[in-house]
Amino acid sequence: MNSNQNNDIKTKHHFPLLLALALTMGVFAAGSEELVISPLLPDLAKAFSSDVSVLALSISIYGIMIFIGAPLLVPLGDKYSREISLMAGLMIFIIGTVMCALAQNIFFFFLGRALSGLAAGAFVPTAYAVVGDRVPYTYRGRVMGLIVSSWSLALIFGVPLGSFIGGVLHWRWTFWIFALMGVLVVLLILLEMRRHAEHKNSGGEGKEEPAGTFRDAVKVPRVPVYIMITFCNMIGFYGMYSFLGTYLQHIFTGGNTAAGLFIMIYGIGFSMSVVTGKMADRIGKMRSLLIALGGISVLLACLPYASTSMFLLIVSLFIWGLMQSLTVTLLSTILSDCSERHRGKIMVFYSLASNLAVTLGSALMGPVYVAYGYAAVGLICAAITVLGFVLSVFAYKKYGKHEKKANQSLSQ
């Protein structure tokens, strides 16, 4: 092996700091803008001389456009390049956010929110696909953990910061800040494109295959089963999480403040995905997923009874956040590794399964919570998660050799 080949291998196995920073910041911006609307609703209703319930439709519009943006724009990455899909998403995000900041009527604001949702639908799945394309397998869980943790950081820091800016300055400044963040991510992506082009010109990559169809993508081995595992995990999570705040307010005095503090403990656990992702890289991603799903199944069933002890509740919420972040990191990492040719479309299915579970989880568990209480919700969500665990056992037995070969090739 000559010195150039040695240099190529060293370069290939360097931790991709610039890329990780760009993707993490982009997902953080998208997540923060999606969630920040809730505390801004009263100010928005006053500004547009409307009702809070009407302005709340901007949240629904955002979610609907995510469903449209993912299958519409992400395939550009498979057909041409990931950068085109990322840049398209970012430019639409900036335009939509600026429209929200400048909006003088509710129609213009809704249009801006629709564009922002379309952008999020394009950017987030493409970001997951880029990790599969550009990040060496040995670092993939760590980088995916960074991106996944940005969702919790958006909840813990992005939303309070946006709300604070809206209260101290004006709600329009909140959107201006997110637009400027989008511009910064564009600059980071451009720098990454330049670095990647230099690496590609030096012979670091082979010729790419032509993109296939969505039907081809879903036929890839491991994809259907891991999409189903994602769906089961997300329904179990959102079914339980949607009513956590209401449950905590019911059993503790202090109202929203007490519930918010307990939920923050969950968020802190979720933000540990960088650490758990690093551990999963060493243990094995498919094996780690078995542990995580098994742990979540037990936690969901027992969580409603943990309120008898303050310490037990705090520990349970922290471990739940930690295990859930690990599960999301592992599922997105495993799916991104299933096929290089169909990676973008596979991550579209992953994104759509997650978003569909968000809607169904809260909708199906609502009547259960009202009629039977949080313990019943916990048992049902645990049972759904157990189904995901059983599927993961099946997948590990059938496809575990794939990961072992990948790990062996990296150790050689």
* pLDDT tens-digit map of 170-228: 889 989 999 999 999 999 888 877 776 666 655 544 444 444 566 777 788 888 999 99
What whole-number distance in Å separates Cα of residue 280 and Cα of residue 266?
20
To 10 degrees, the CA torsion angle through 326, 19, 188, 153?
10
Which has the higher per-residue pLDDT, 299 or 280? 299
Element (H, E) at 44: helix 17-47
Q: Which of 193-202, 203-212, 376-385, 397-406 shows the lowest per-residue confidence on average (mean pLDDT)?
A: 203-212
Using alpha carbons only, give the angle 394, 132, 294 rounded to the nearest 5 degrees. Answer: 30
User: Quick one: how far is CA 108 from the chain centroid?
Assistant: 28
Q: Which whole number is the average pLDDT over 139-145?
A: 72
| Amino acid at site 145 | G
pLDDT, tens only, 44-83: 888 888 887 777 777 778 878 887 887 777 777 767 777 7
Output DSSP code: residue 401: H
Percent of the chain with pLDDT over 70: 80
Tell me which of 316 and 160 has the higher pLDDT: 316
DSSP code at position 204? -
Would you say 37 and 175 are in contact if contact means Cβ atoms under 8 Å apart?
no
Q: What mean pLDDT do residues 271-298 have?
A: 81
The candidate with the shortest Cα–Cα distance to 4, out of 217, 273, 202, is 202
End-to-end CA distance of the chain: 14
DSSP code per residue over 284-345 = -HHHHHHHHHHHHHHHHHHGGGGGG-HHHHHHHHHHHHHHHHHHHHHHHHHHHTS-STTHHH
Is pLDDT of 408 > 70? Answer: no
pLDDT-derived band at 343 (thresholds 50, 70, 90) equals confident
Q: What angle do CA 47, 95, 159 make, to 5 degrees?
A: 60
CA atoms of 184 and 182, how far apart (whole Å): 5
Q: Report in angstroms the alpha-carbon separations of 169 from 35, 43, 106, 164, 354.
A: 19, 12, 21, 8, 35
Query: HSE on the CB side for 137, CA within 13 Å?
Result: 18
Reading the block at residue 231, the tokens are 């769906």
Contact 391, 315 (CB under 8 A): no
pLDDT score, position 257: 56
Two tokens at 242?
């949607």
Q: Residue 239 and residue 380: Cα distance in Å, rounded?
A: 9
Residue 123 contacts residue 86 (beta carbons within 8 Å): yes
Average per-residue pLDDT for the chain: 79
Place of tokens 């039977």: 372
Position 299 confidence tier, pLDDT thresholds 50, 70, 90: very high
Express each pLDDT in 35-45 by its tens digit: 677 667 778 88
The model's confidence at residue 7, banded by pLDDT at 50, 70 and 90, is very low
Which domains, from first to last, does the chain contain?
A: 17-199 (1.20.1250.20), 216-406 (1.20.1250.20)
Across 239-263, average pLDDT: 71
Give CA 172 to chain center in angstroms. Answer: 26
- Rounded to 5 degrees, φ, ψ at 208 are -85, 145
Distance CA 292, CA 269 (A): 13
Task: Give the mean pLDDT of 274-278.
Answer: 69
Amino acid at 12: K
The structure tokens listed for 266 are 């969950």
* Dihedral angle, C-alpha 344, 347, 349, 354, nearest 10 °: -150
Tell me what pLDDT residue 364 has: 83
pLDDT of residue 2: 39
Q: Which residues of 291-315 are buried (b: 16+ CB within 10 A; e: fewer)?
A: bbbbbbbebbbebbebbeeeeebbe
